[in-house]
Chain A
Amino acid sequence: MPAKTRNPFSRPRVRGPDDLDPLRAEPVNDRDLIGRVLAGDARAEREMYDAHVDRVFRLVYRMVGDTHRAQDYTQEAFIRGFRRLADFRGDSALSTWLCAIAVSVTLNGLRSMKRTREREVGLEEAPSVGTRSVEADPDLKTRLASAIDGLPDGYRTVFVMHDVEGYTHEEIASTLGVQPGTSKAQLFRARARLREALADFARD
């Protein structure tokens, strides 16, 4: 078994006062827990689920904004996680690995949904998002939500993870399988797009 890397989630986090309790998972006994799950211990599966479900659900919900779909994707992430647990090499924290699966499941689900919607509505009739739709709505939060929805998947994922959920670039890189520099660049571009979309607020 390869040596485990430093747990990137073990240090204290500075969060806003209005944040929901994120219940950051602390993979203290990951190795022991994984061993028990792999040995077929159903209670260990429940323990692993309990330890990580809040974190996974939070992230998925932030990405999809719909309880039913967030529920579906979270379930699917755990089912896949349990099935593939034997492949977990311990290169990252278990929570990071589970979040990576959840992000993958979610992005695939969103793409699939987008394709379906495009087939149903037709590209030219699809509601515009981002800069085009914001002018009709004076509310910053609504316009921001619309602008975030309009970001490309990569930008949006990084923006949600960093600016909304408070992940570090190292955590994001580990979860998405990219370099921290890529995460920083994508966040920079995402913010630029959002600034552009909300420029009139700055003028006001």
Chain B
Amino acid sequence: MDDDPLDETIRAAAREYHRPPDPPREAMWQAVARERRLDRARRPAPRRWLPWAGAAAAAALVAIGVGIGRLSRSGESPPAPAVIAAGPSTAGPRVNETAYRLATTDHLERSEAFLTLFRASVRTGSQERLASATARELLATNRLLLDSPAAQGRRTRLLLEDLELVLAEIAQLRPDATAGDRELIREGLERGGMMSRLRTAVPAGTTPTRGDL
């Protein structure tokens, strides 16, 4: 099979065939890691969290519904239904964009405050329990906002999607989480520019920089 002298010429020339450059390792890893974070966020929560998630979702639903109801009443007649967490409806719910925007801004403010404090607490690692409880609550609200038919703005949607990943990671922190686990989340925050995007999205001066999670 290897007797033909042309084979050797071909093999020698073939080494130049599509000679690979250095792999763009970091760029590829960012894409892989992003998909993996999405995978983890999509994974069903462990059973022990179900009561928490349910209670947090219910509380958030009531709070947002009441808030939107109040906001809607003053501007429209008859009052628009609270549509922020509308289920499947063939009639096509009416969307109060102002109410949605206000609810989103409030949520992003709270998220920014929370993440600021979380980032500061990464080194001490003393408040996982509080952090994960708050993250679960914010996560429930985040999902309601993402599911709302009013969530049309691409920029806001992308921000909420990325925020969901971060909150999901913090929500899954265990009390015995290592410093490395917390550091990974903090790195994710930095890489995605989450804090600056949140600050751009919410009015200035509303975020505490000290306090408890």
Binding site for B on A (CB under 8 A): 16, 18-20, 40, 42-43, 45-46, 49-50, 53-54, 57-58, 61-65, 67, 70-71, 74-75, 78-79, 82-83, 140-141, 144-145, 148, 159-160, 163-164, 184, 187-188, 191, 194-195, 198-199, 201-202
Contacts and interface: CB of A to CB of B under 8 A. Distances in A.
- Which applies to chain A's interface (DSSP): helix, strand, loop or mixed? helix
10 A-B pairs closest in CB distance: A65-B18, A61-B20, A57-B23, A75-B31, A202-B6, A79-B35, A78-B32, A144-B13, A62-B18, A58-B20
B32 A145 contact: no
Interface in B74-114: none
B23 A53 contact: yes
Contacts of B17: 62, 65, 141, 144-145, 148, 160, 164
B39 to A, nearest CB: 7
12 contacts: A20-B20, A43-B184, A53-B29, A54-B23, A62-B17, A83-B39, A141-B17, A144-B17, A160-B18, A164-B17, A195-B4, A195-B7
Interface of B: 1, 4-7, 9-11, 13-21, 23-25, 27-29, 31-33, 35-36, 39-40, 180-181, 184
B32 A71 contact: no
Contacts, number: 109
Contacts of A78: 28, 32
A18 B18 CA distance: 14
Contact of B20 (A62, A79, A140, A198): A62
A164 B15 contact: yes
A188 B3 CA distance: 12
Contacts of B4: 191, 195, 202
B13 to A, nearest CB: 5
- Which applies to chain B's interface (DSSP): helix, strand, loop or mixed? helix
Given A16-B15, A18-B15, A62-B20, A74 B28 contact: yes
Contact of A61 (B14, B18, B31, B35): B18
A53 B5 contact: no
Residue among B6, B18, B36, B180 with the most chain A CB within 10 A? B18
B1 A53 contact: no
B16 A141 contact: yes
A198 B32 contact: no
A198 B18 contact: no
B6 A201 contact: yes
Contacts of A164: 14-15, 17-18
A191 B5 contact: no
Contacts of A49: 29, 32
A147 B150 CA distance: 55
B6 to A, nearest CB: 5
Contacts of A71: 24, 27-28
B171 to A, nearest CB: 13
Nearest to A50: B25
B193 to A, nearest CB: 19
Given A61-B20, A82-B36, A195 B28 contact: no
